[in-house]
Amino acid sequence: MARFIVEGGTPLRGEITPAGNKNEALPLIAASLLTDDAVTLRNLPRIRDVRGMLEIAIALGAKVDELDPHTVRISGAPRSMEVPQKLAGEIRASLLFAGPLLARLRKAQLGLPGGDVIGRRRNDTHFLALQQLSAELEVAREGYELSTEGLRGAEVILDEASVTATENALLAAVLAKGRTVLHNAASEPHVQQLGLALTKMGARVAGIGTNTITIDGVERLGGIDHTILSDHMEVGSLIALIAMTRGSATIKKAVPQHLRMTRLVFKRLGVETEIAGDDLVVKGNERYRVEEDIGGKIPTIKPGIWPGFPTDLTSVATAMATQAEGTVLIHEWMFDGRMFWVDALERMGARLVLADPHRVVVVGPSQLYGTELRSPDIRAGMALLGATLCARGRSIINNVEQIDRGYEELDTRLRALGAKIERAA
């Protein structure tokens, strides 16, 4: 088990370029099975979840060639309908192979998916959507089996605006017979990028970026050469880390159009940022102050459906709130286990109250002190890393494999900004 050893108190300064968007890369790897032609993906993040998805693609019969450390070419039709249980259990996005396998082989056998332990994460929306496209489902203790006599377009209503379920339905519908209309579809940037990539492959998709997506099925799709955008979740996380250390740095290729709500929320925590072309500058500040609601009321930060504040940034926003003067309520309503890590912040010296599984009240600023911690999931791990970087003294973060699932060589890149962080076995 790897760990980070962090000596806190050093401001982060300089320039950093975020890695490619993990949540864009994963469905595109699954989409590569929709064609026999080569699919080239550039700016792939070198993280565990991406490696896991590529391993599944290989197990299903695809050929994967690494052209450079951040570029792969995927080719060949799927020959197996079975996503191996061991590989599926390491990554939640393994569910995304259901749509392509049904479209190409008319069968899919999926092991139970893994992923972050942040509370109950329903798979129902995936299968309800695929059933509306004429798939049949059998549930077993070890996973799911899906079959179809041929996918057919339909009016599909998603019972929640799930990102991965929207992507799965989209991946199935592009080769289905007839027209599919996805209602209550997710519209996050990575969903938009998947839709645009499929269109370049020859799919007929309208309504990309809205909550109603119309797909007219085609007979076949072709190859594509696609460059993945920077990860806006990593950009948001870096904003918090730079600010918490009282640093000042430029985040290169930040894709500013995806950061409007993120910048607004961090501004409410006193963090000033500005756009410089394609870059984002986090301004240095010795004092952060929570912006109160009108009348001096305590403000609430909570995630929302896109273009709302991303749920994956609520953890790092909570850590940032410990360094801002004032009181704020963090309301994470999407996942019932997302906030259980905040006891670690309290042990470091943060003043907060976990009101219930979904709400934590933070009163700042607090002087944090180094201690030994454990990363429970990707996003909480990043939040704890931010806390250790601004803490007084030395900290140890165990189980950093969880952080590695979502952030590429983070310790190396943070050292380039001046962070005193080392990786140890």
The CA dihedral of 36, 37, 43, 49, to the nearest 10 degrees, is 10
For residue 292 the two structure tokens come to: 């109160």
Which one of the listed residues 49, 65, 116, 124 is annotated catalytic? 116
Q: Which two tokens stand for residue 97?
A: 């192979």
Single out the residue of 185, 195, 180 nearest to residue 24, CA to CA: 195
Q: State the Cα–Cα distance between residues 171 and 157, nearest whole angstrom.
A: 16
CB atoms within 10 A of CB 47: 22
For 77-105, letters b (16+ CB in 10 Å) and e give: ebeebbbbeebbbbbbbbbbbbbbbbbbb
- 356 carries an active-site annotation: no
Task: Report the first-to-last Cα separation within the chain, whole angstroms.
Answer: 6
| AA identity, residue 381 | G
Place of tokens 């605006």: 161
- CA 90 vs CA 83, 166, 200: distances in Å: 12, 21, 30
* Integer Cα distance of 98 and 146 in angstroms: 8
Q: Which residues are catalytic?
A: 116
